[in-house]
Structure 1
């Protein structure tokens, strides 16, 4: 599809007993089309059909997945790539969406758990849209050529420079677009620690380049600065803190050490209330020993600082920001998409265990409820 298109997608549940819904991850759709069971709709039960209809105002690399029992359904394969091309004609390019996913220990790139070999003529512009559909961070290496990280989470970077040999660590739910001109030798995208790889060569064969892990790519100092609608010096209308930790207590009748936010266990997590037009600053602090890829529905966050250090490269917009143990991020966004939105950890097992917050616009309510039928995580 292309930016500006009106999209209509019909979902028919043939035989998924617990129901299904479809979330358009990273696409800033109207709230009613967000596809979250119990928040924006009821789950679609077996034999039922549900139609999503929205206009796409972005271009870039996104994906879709079930948001009903998502910790189980996504793991089992209810997901796919969702690519929106820019308006107008495009130069002739080899454009490939490559989805990384783990099936019961088998790590795959697309439909392959081994090497997927393809032919690509030298001189061809190539864009690899790498999507991590797993709940955990995954590491990749693109070897055999210099390349650019052209986009993060569906948003183009400003003046990305050529890099080589960097390790690309992708958050659970995150995306990188990698661009290069096809050389006369083999180029390989390799999932570190797995057999899965994509190999491009002039004849579809050829020796594979070494896939050694190099220094980690860091979006915080990559590319060139550019003007944004707001930045770290802006006057913010709202400011919220999300400090993730673990506390002892009861969750669904189970005593244990559970995910907590700002010292509270669910369901006492804060709901962040905004008004349309607000410029909002949000601070994420990870006081645990696990990664938390924080995903805000319906909005993109401008990353301002990490551990107190400002972002110095291209503006870095993210919808799924990986907050590592001990890290602190400040981000900002404009409240320009009214509704009731999830803001949750995209390690879907963490979300199923309660690590879910909500962003709510003043005056907005929902008739849907989480319960027997609707179980978004």
Structure 2
């Protein structure tokens, strides 16, 4: 009898030894039903001076960091968001989301200096919607992130965005509410800040229900352009994974990346590796036999020119922006950085919001106990991004463009490589730098959007900034 009782006690002890730590890990993984994104995680000052700690007393509100409140807009667009079945340009039926009845939504075009006003009307997107201006460094209140810079627009509601178009380039817009679902389902469009020219070609690449498209069309399509025209092919990757793109039939130049001009581009025939969320402008003179934009494989391509060129595979070589182009001044000195941060991406088993799984980590911490990168306006910031997670991550910083200084310890020697979305492969390390010149609370996350929903996101936070918005709660904000 004593042996039996002792055996039970031992079994109970072993059970408790297992269950108590698991219970603790489960309980500490829970994300509050409502929380202030400005108070999540822990403050990382990057070696800089902490102005007022992580509490941000007496600072400015995100809601006050708006674009121009007065003035007649030069570009005035209304976007009506719907959750519906619709047809792709190539005829397939998709159960997803549209803007003004189509996906992609309408092209918005502005010129540098234009006052842009966009009114989002949510007609039937049940989870709510926003518009984030991906790659456009707008004032913080116009950034369109649910729970951070605004509340998600509910069914029957509307929200007005106003900003000045200050930087020419190729950009896109998309919902930043339940992003992994709504963007995948079609709630996005393109925006170009530049005058329209005869050689402009837009190519938004997106996968709907396993069907990869260019401008909402599967297979091959054609753009008629006269031979001798200088074509600027604006390629936008709206999917969750990197994609090799390029022009076949003629050499071309990579003249812009993420809305920033490349200095001294040279003609290449290699493919270009376009990160998820990234953009590249490819320029070539249209040959008599035409040329073709290839998105991954020749089965998805866009013929450009007076004739339909033959399909062809992309070459195995890839343009390396670390050495492509020629150097030019940055406009600031990364060697005088006020803040030095590390953004170490990893992965480990555990619980996230009570769910067991294999979760992403930032500096060894799981969401929401992640570092908040704290800066002050005017700071020069350096950040080392390393990845040992086993998968690649397209890292997207809102509100800023950063320049790549090095990759795996090798210094950049080509054109200044400015990015807002940087592909960080497994076992890769990049060092980037930027000037903190746009006050606010800015998401810094993986643009493989399911990864963001699984915890690979944090914020760049300006000291003294607060937000009246909350994630979760009655507003049902889910920024991902």
Q: TM > 0.5 between the two?
A: yes
In structure 2, the partner of 1:221 is 323
Relative to the length of structure 2, the TM-score reads 0.75
In structure 1, the partner of 2:145 is 36
Looking at CA atoms only, which structure, 1 or 2, has the larger radius of gyration? Answer: 2
In structure 1, the partner of 2:169 is 60
In structure 1, the partner of 2:462 is 361
Q: Mark the CA change 1:241 to 1:353 in structure 2 (over 3 Å): closer, same or farther.
A: same
1:188 and 2:299 correspond: no
Write 1 or 2 for the structure with the bigger share of helix. 2
1:94 deviates by 1.2
In structure 1, the partner of 2:314 is 212
Partner deviation per Cα, 1:292-321 (whole Å, 9 max, x = no partner): 111000000110000000111000000000
- Paired with 2:273 and 2:388, the residues of 1 have a C-alpha distance of 21
In structure 2, the partner of 1:241 is 342
Contact conserved, 2:246 with 2:272, CA < 8 A, in 1? yes
- Residue of structure 2 aligned with 1:260, choices 353, 358, 361: 361
1:231 deviates by 4.5
- Tell me, which stretches of 5 or more residues in structure 1 are unaligned? none
Comparing 187-196 with 143-152, greater Cα deviation is found at 187-196
Task: Say which SS state the counterpart of residue 471 (structure 2) adopts.
Answer: coil
In structure 1, the partner of 2:412 is 311
- Paired with 2:329 and 2:294, the residues of 1 have a C-alpha distance of 35
- Paired with 1:306 and 1:326, the residues of 2 have a C-alpha distance of 11
Partner deviation per Cα, 1:332-356 (whole Å, 9 max, x = no partner): 0100000000000000000000100
Task: Say which SS state the counterpart of residue 351 (structure 1) adopts.
Answer: helix
- Paired with 2:343 and 2:218, the residues of 1 have a C-alpha distance of 37
Partner deviation per Cα, 1:27-76 (whole Å, 9 max, x = no partner): 00000000000000000000101100111111100100000000000000
- Residue of structure 2 aligned with 1:119, choices 217, 224, 243: 224
In structure 2, the partner of 1:376 is 479
- Paired with 2:357 and 2:154, the residues of 1 have a C-alpha distance of 33
- Paired with 1:163 and 1:45, the residues of 2 have a C-alpha distance of 47
In structure 1, the partner of 2:207 is 102
1:193 deviates by 3.7
1:211 deviates by 2.4
Task: Say which SS state the counterpart of residue 263 (structure 2) adopts.
Answer: coil
1:179 and 2:283 correspond: yes
- Residue of structure 2 aligned with 1:133, choices 227, 238, 247: 238
Contact conserved, 2:148 with 2:469, CA < 8 A, in 1? yes
In structure 1, the partner of 2:301 is 197
In structure 1, the partner of 2:88 is none
In structure 2, the partner of 1:297 is 398
- Paired with 1:376 and 1:195, the residues of 2 have a C-alpha distance of 35
Relative to the length of structure 1, the TM-score reads 0.96
Task: Say which SS state the counterpart of residue 32 (structure 1) adopts.
Answer: helix
**Following superposition, which runs of at least 4 residues in structure 1 exceed 3 angstroms of deviation?**
none
Aligned length: 369
Task: Say which SS state the counterpart of residue 336 (structure 2) adopts.
Answer: coil
1:194 deviates by 6.4
In structure 2, the partner of 1:288 is 389
Partner deviation per Cα, 1:259-287 (whole Å, 9 max, x = no partner): 11111111110001100000000110000
Q: Mark the CA change 1:162 to 1:231 in structure 2 (over 3 Å): closer, same or farther.
A: farther
